[in-house]
Structure 1
Amino acid sequence: MEEKPRYRRILLKLSGEAFAGEQGYGIDPNFLEYISHEVKNVHELGVEVAIVIGGGNIFRGFQGKGIGIDRATADYMGMLATVINALALQSALERHVNIPTRVLSAIEMRQVSEPYIRRRAVRHLEKGRVVIFAGGTGNPFFSTDTAAALRAAEIDAEVLLKATKVGGIYDKDPEKFPDAMFIREITYLEVINRGIRVMDHTALTMCRENDIPIIVFNIREKGNLRAVVLGEEIGSVVRG
């Protein structure tokens, strides 16, 4: 029996920390190979896949203050880190699983990526290419979570999939508190009012205004990405 995906077009948000793997910094080749196969398992269902990547494995904007770099400049440095991750993932997708991939950067650097143009991104998706959005929003003071929400709205993605290292949303950090309670479904406003760390407020508000559900799930569990796309009850859902 042919498996029918629940979503036609998705936006996958990957953190920079995930790229570091167990080493804590830089890019782990084992993770690149792993995530390539996870994306392939979704791509082969006919799903259009767009990806936004963080840069925390290389540099975070808030680190700049501690070393005497102003916030705007530090944020631009963080955006450049996302381009490095995007190029690494593009190479892995094409080398390991032979999926055509395009990197579109909000900060123009034509030698290594295409400039971000919404219509071009949509056309790539329609042609079956995986599209990786790099460079955040192209502006300082915005997180890559906000970039993910913005790009999801722009390309008319049906869902934003936030990949994490835990099973979903909890009322407090499950890695620090054994009694943390799992939350299967919650509204955008509840997340904001209760101060639950899912995405920043700007990203949540953008998803709410554009009616884009957010599914938070554990990307480290093999097969979870495909299961989520097929509509299985994996992780937690933010909607309404």
Structure 2
Amino acid sequence: MAEAPEYKRIVLKLSGEALAGEQGFGIDPDMIQSIAEQVRDVVDHGVEVAIIVGGGNIWRGIAGSAKGMDRATADYMGMLATVMNSLALQDSLENNGVQTRVQSSIEMRQVAEPYIRRRAIRHLEKKRVVIFAAGTGNPFFSTDTTAALRAAEIEADVILMAKNNVDGVYSADPSVDEYAQKYDNLTYLDLLKDGLAVMDSTASSLCMDNNIPLVVFSISEKGNIERAVMGEEIGTIIRGTES
């Protein structure tokens, strides 16, 4: 492991399921504490950290839409779920001594700042963790797309995508197919061409167009966020072109 961080400014993408831990729904206090401790260790290296967290542990807009709910309404409910997760993560981070700000794409000034790009960058420069909540503020866009968009806006060096039950990108679902092959390196064109279920095509295209690398790894093993930041070869790294 290198002595200095490989990346100076990162976007950490967490799924809502990651906060649920083994219980599969809601927020697992032990899991969110583990994540907060890992983020604290990264901040201690001087790395600027922005976080996007999903809401699937509370509500999934696509699932609501499949049951007959208006898609836009279901997606807005999903955005509110991400705010709940963001506030829980902020509380845990600050209990671990990490100054944190939540910025929401949907205005709710009593609980979060509105998303303002320049203010977010200033927070990062002051070594505050910034959690971007409520997705892009628009229905029909995933939190993966939010991660790609915010990474481009704040000029992040990398997106770290922490997965709950898998340690990288595979050719098939490894829990179903015992012959699934794990990839160490891919390009965004590979994701789009082969239909690999890493992030949606909008997010992949944004990352490719803005040349933002993506590291996919497991959140289950404590210390993996730090390992990824320090440049250790874990999980799968995805770039715009062949490495």
Cα shift readout 1:35-89 (whole Å, capped 9, x = no counterpart): 0111011110000000000000000101222443200000000000000000000
1:220 counterpart = 2:220: yes
Partner of 1:190: 190
1:152 counterpart = 2:141: no
1:63 counterpart = 2:63: yes
Q: Secondary structure at the match of 1:162?
A: strand
Partner of 1:138: 137
CA contact (8 A) 2:2 2:231 kept: no
Cα root mean square deviation, aligned = 1.2
Matches of 1:6 and 1:151, distance apart in 2: 20
Task: Show the 5 A alignment for 1:1-240.
Answer: 3-95=3-95, 97-164=96-163, 165-239=165-239, 240=241
Cα shift readout 1:121-179 (whole Å, capped 9, x = no counterpart): 00000001000000000000000000000000000000001101311111011111111
Provide the identity percentage: 61
Matches of 1:189 and 1:219, distance apart in 2: 25
Runs of 4+ residues over 3 Å off in structure 1: none
Unaligned runs of 5+ in 1: none
The code of the aligned residue for 2:109 comes to R
Unaligned runs of 5+ in 2: none
- Output the TM-score relative to the length of structure 1: 0.97
Q: Quick check: 204-213 or 217-226, which moved more? A: 217-226
Q: Secondary structure at the match of 2:141?
A: coil
- Output the TM-score relative to the length of structure 2: 0.96
The code of the aligned residue for 2:148 comes to A
Q: How far does residue 23 in structure 1 lie from its aligned partner after superposition? A: 1.2
Q: How far does residue 24 in structure 1 lie from its aligned partner after superposition? A: 1.2
Number of aligned residue pairs: 239
Matches of 1:14 and 1:154, distance apart in 2: 19
